[in-house]
């Protein structure tokens, strides 16, 4: 293993999953400008997450759509012209 390739400035950081409003504390060296007051009354750096083990379908067993880039809307707009064009015969 190479020496001196890992950061040495790990600190306590709060990770917050905004899709299900769950937070947890861990050590990290990731840069962030946001801070949050934790349960112990101290202020810690905040790293915002879109998905974590608290909201991922593999861990929760529930299917949940996380659409942060607007992919579903883009798909619906692209293929909207193909929907509802099939006419059903009316009964006489």
Q: What torsion, rounded to 10 degrees, do the Cα atoms 37, 41, 43, 48 define?
A: -30
How many domains does the chain fold into? 1
- Tell me whether residue 60 is in a domain: yes
- Tell me whether residue 53 is in a domain: yes
Query: pTM for the complete prediction?
Result: 0.58
Range of the domain at 66: 11-82
- Tell me whether residue 38 is in a domain: yes
From CA 16, how far away is CA 39, in angstroms rounded? 13
- Tell me whether residue 3 is in a domain: no
- Tell me whether residue 89 is in a domain: no
From CA 86, how far away is CA 12, in angstroms rounded? 58
- Tell me whether residue 6 is in a domain: no
Partners of 15 in beta bridges: 24, 47
Q: Render each residue's pLDDT in the chain as its tens digit; 92 residues.
A: 788 888 888 999 999 988 788 898 999 998 899 999 999 999 999 998 877 767 766 556 666 665 566 777 777 888 888 766 555 555 44
């Amino acid at each position: 293993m190479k020496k001196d390739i890992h950061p040495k400035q790990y600190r306590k950081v709060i990770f917050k999953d905004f899709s299900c409003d769950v937070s947890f504390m861990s050590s990290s060296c990731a840069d962030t400008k946001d801070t949050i007051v934790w349960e112990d009354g101290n202020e810690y750096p905040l790293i915002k997450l879109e998905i974590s083990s608290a909201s991922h379908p593999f861990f929760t067993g529930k299917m949940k759509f996380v659409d942060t880039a607007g992919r579903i809307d883009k798909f619906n707009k692209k293929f909207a012209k193909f929907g509802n064009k099939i006419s059903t015969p009316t009964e006489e």
